[in-house]
Structure 1
Amino acid sequence: MLSRALKHLPEDLLPAYLGPAISVCFWQGEGWQVSANPAPGHYALPEDPAWLRIPAPATQVADTRKTNAHRYLLDQHLQAYLALAEQQDPEAWLDEQLALAEAWGWAAPTQLAFLFSQRLTVPGCIPAERWQPNPDEIPAAHFERVQQEAKFWQGDGPP
């Protein structure tokens, strides 16, 4: 986090971030890095510190999403997930589902939970031609349409 913050913060925000430290030394990859504080001192904590808005690396975001999805499946769909694991590699299956969700722009927890539950409880339930986004259909509208269709075919929705 330190190296990411130092890389993304403008120099005028470094003093508030580093505080009284004259410089910091940290391991980065394969060697030591040193960053000097242009104005060491004690600073009041800003109301909205810029260092809390530093973007996480894409790989970290993807790893966190996958870990959370795996935990969700173990917690909410254990038996179905175990049955799936008897048939195929659950990690490859999960990667496939997350890639589909990303392609469709589905990132909200409810969208992912719906996709996972549909794919686990009704194998092969996603008809490729009907569940694909329509041209110019935003992800939220696409999700709503697909969710309503799934409810209808499962006997839970209006005709």
Structure 2
Amino acid sequence: MNTVVNDWLIEQRRQQREFILVIDSMADPDPIKYLFGADVMHDYTRVYASSALAGFIDASPWLVRLSGQQINLVKELLTTPENNWGWIASATQTDLNLHTQHWLDRALIEDGAQRSLYRLQDNRVMAHHLSTLEAAQRPLLLGLMDSAICWDAEKWVAFDNPRPDFYPKPFATPWLDIAEPESVTDAIVRHNLKQWLWEEHPHATSALIETQPLDPWLDEQLQLAKAWGWSEPTQLEFLLIHKMHPTTAGLSVWPRRDDETAAQHYGRCVDVLSAALRSE
């Protein structure tokens, strides 16, 4: 086990704290299945359950309480942080209902007419935000958690909470003012699109991997999208599904012309490729 993680675990046990896993249920391989197999799922909650976000329950973060002894049963998670399964916190106050309410209060981001979900279960997001926040601001994000340790895509980073407590609405949200590194944003987009392919187009995805590995193919398409200035979800999904389709994948319409904006390029591809499929 990594020395940083091991030292952090020893210190939390010394202070007689228990542990809370914050799990990304959309990670691959499935960490929830692993935790049930490890027989540690005795006290857990799904953050979005029984709330206005219940419609997104399949993507909901899970909070799993573990004792100091139970943490030894999940060593596979601790030795594979690159799977981005979530992160670990320690707490003296371990009522998961309180912790769930804390994170539910922070889960929905409303910016005028725009609404999105805060990816609190993503270790890269949390590592970046906790690293950037001033120490005095961390309590607003960590709430009742005494300490946390996250994999930032390169290393484990630990963060102490100077004032663990329940901070109800209204509260400041300084973490939402922090710009995400491009590498983190790209990794999240890639993860979400891979999940979308398997959920929405399983047959086409299965057919693709019979001829080539999925990950390098997906990386190639996302590099094309970035070069073309296609960043909207509808543009990315259009690109992937039509690049998987044997009728449209190799057509000469794809390259962007010198006199086109990204929007014009996308519109032309939609028109031509949709017509090609209709004529099949």
| TM-score, length of structure 2 as denominator length | 0.42
The residue number in structure 2 matching 1:106 is 230
Residues 126 and 50 (structure 1), Cα distance of their counterparts in 2 relative to 1, 3 Å cut: farther
Aligned residues: 147
2:139 and 2:261 mapped to 1: Cα distance? 42
Residues 26 and 77 (structure 1), Cα distance of their counterparts in 2 relative to 1, 3 Å cut: closer
Give the percent of matched residue pairs that are identical in Structure 1 and Structure 2: 29
Write the letter of the residue equivalent to 2:256: P
Which one has the bigger strand percentage? 2
Which one has the bigger helix percentage? 1
- Deviations, residues 87-123 of structure 1 (Å, cap 9, x unaligned): 1111111111111111111111111111111111226
Residues 101 and 126 (structure 1), Cα distance of their counterparts in 2 relative to 1, 3 Å cut: farther
Tell which structure's C-alpha radius of gyration is larger.
1
**8 Å contact 2:247–2:276 — kept in the other structure?**
no
**8 Å contact 1:17–1:51 — kept in the other structure?**
no
Residues 151 and 33 (structure 1), Cα distance of their counterparts in 2 relative to 1, 3 Å cut: closer
From 183, 187, 204, the counterpart of 1:80 = 204
Residues 79 and 147 (structure 1), Cα distance of their counterparts in 2 relative to 1, 3 Å cut: same
**What is the deviation of 1:70?**
0.7
Q: For structure 2, list consecutive stretches of 5 or more residues without a partner in the other structure.
A: 1-124, 141-146, 163-168
| TM-score, length of structure 1 as denominator length | 0.68
Which ranges of 4 or more aligned residues in structure 1 deviate by more than 3 Å?
A: 1-9, 14-19, 25-34, 45-50
**8 Å contact 2:254–2:269 — kept in the other structure?**
yes
From 258, 262, 266, the counterpart of 1:143 = 266
The residue number in structure 1 matching 2:99 is none
Q: For structure 1, list consecutive stretches of 5 or more residues without a partner in the other structure.
A: 20-24, 37-44
Residues 124 and 93 (structure 1), Cα distance of their counterparts in 2 relative to 1, 3 Å cut: farther
**What is the deviation of 1:49?**
3.6
| Structure 1 residues 41-56: aligned runs within 5 Å | 49-56=173-180
**What is the deviation of 1:154?**
1.9
Residues 31 and 134 (structure 1), Cα distance of their counterparts in 2 relative to 1, 3 Å cut: closer
